[in-house]
Amino acid sequence: MNDRLAGIKQEILNGIDQHAGSRAAAFELRKQFLDSKTGKIGQLMKEMKSIAPEERAGFGKNINELKEWAQQRFSELDEKLKARELERRYESEKIDVTMPAQKAETGNLHPITQMRNQLIDVFAGMGFEIYEGTEIENDYYNFTALNTPKDHPARDMQDTFYLSPEFLLRTQTSAGQIHVMESKKPPIKILAPGKVFRSDDDATHSPMFFQMEGLVVDKKITLCDLKGMLDVFVRKIYGEDTTTRLRPSYFPFTEPSVEVDVSCFECGGKGCKLCKGTGWIELLGAGIVNKKVLENCGIDSEEYSGLAFGIGIDRTAMFKYGINNIKLLFESDLRVLRQINDN
Ligand code: FA5
């Protein structure tokens, strides 16, 4: 019997030597010998019955000693493995406090989004509400209801992407004017920012760009109201000394129509490269809402009048941040985008 005990001892020593590389493997090995039901040492206890009574006490003592010895070995092993695991962790998580810190990059809003937000802030301060229209429009809302029927030459002013004979990508946020006037009774004071699309492509024109439409319909709205609002807008965006100039223009949906220039904020009006020596920069189109458009939307043009303007958001941003090619706004070049942070 003592040989069997010695054999188990040896087995344990071999097992510890060969297999117990991790705490999980050591646990499995321990179970093989010390599990109360299936362990080899426990099994020996069950054999007590078959031992001669006079040898039983000695046999039991030897088994208990073996059990204590095994428990001791396994807890030493566990301690050793625990220490090794900890060492490995320390090694892998070691921090060199002399290393330069990793730079945490923070992003910022896209210049067009920054400009859009600034414009919304300015006009929200004057009581405008936001209306978000859809990018796909039908011919009626983008042209016909805006006093531009099928054969109207003004359609050539905007090269259109047609999706079908009826549907198109809106060429102007002015399409939103009609939706608003159809669904709301005056007084109306809305701002409609969004993407618009035209078959247009050069340094200052992009096939997709952003506009912000403003529409006010109420009693006794005049061109003076328009000029007053636009003066507030340019002063807030380009500085207190900036002013506007209205030049006669043509849009089928406004009468009279104006092109709005802003005094050059770079040279103060003296003439420079930015304003091409004129002292003025062309910024947006605007006018008094054509009576025909009001009538198309069921608004009494004798009782009410309206003003409307369409600001190019990209163009406003280009002037403000000194960007000379609209493509720079859409190429996602971080060197450009990082320079513009007006938040
Ligand atoms: C219009 O789109 C009119 N709907 C504006 C308007 C609204 C007039 C309400 C009267 C009443 P226009 O085509 O000029 O007008 O465009 C307005 C602005 O959008 C321009 O001043 C310019 O800043 C910008 N813009 C026009 N085409 C492009 C383009 N391809 N890329 C970038 N910006 C553009």
Ligand 1 atom 9, closest CA? 309
pLDDT in tens, the chain (343 residues): 678 888 999 999 998 888 667 888 889 999 999 988 888 888 888 877 788 888 888 888 888 999 999 999 999 999 999 999 899 999 888 888 898 988 888 888 999 999 999 999 999 999 999 998 999 999 999 999 999 988 887 777 778 999 999 999 999 999 999 999 999 999 999 999 999 999 988 888 999 999 999 999 999 999 999 999 999 999 999 999 999 999 999 999 999 999 999 898 888 888 888 788 999 988 999 999 999 999 999 999 999 999 999 999 999 999 899 888 999 999 989 888 888 887 6
How far does residue 247's CA lie from ligand 1's centre (Å)? 15
Residue with tokens 């493995």: 81
Q: What residues are in contact with ligand 1 under a 6 Å CB criterion?
A: 172, 174, 198, 200, 205-206, 209, 211, 213, 251, 254, 284-287, 308-310, 312, 314-315, 326
CB neighbour list of residue 282: distance below 8 Å, 6 or more residues apart: 259, 260, 261
Q: Is 243 exposed, middle or buried (0-12, 13-18, 19+ CB in 10 A)?
A: middle
Residue 79's φ and ψ, nearest 5 degrees, are: -60, -45
How far does residue 195's CA lie from ligand 1's centre (Å)? 12
CA 299 – CA 297 distance, rounded (Å):
6
- Paired sense of beta strands 188-197 and 129-130, if any: parallel
Instruction: From 183, 177, 169, select the one nearest 252 (Cα to Cα).
Output: 177
How far does residue 162's CA lie from ligand 1's centre (Å)? 19
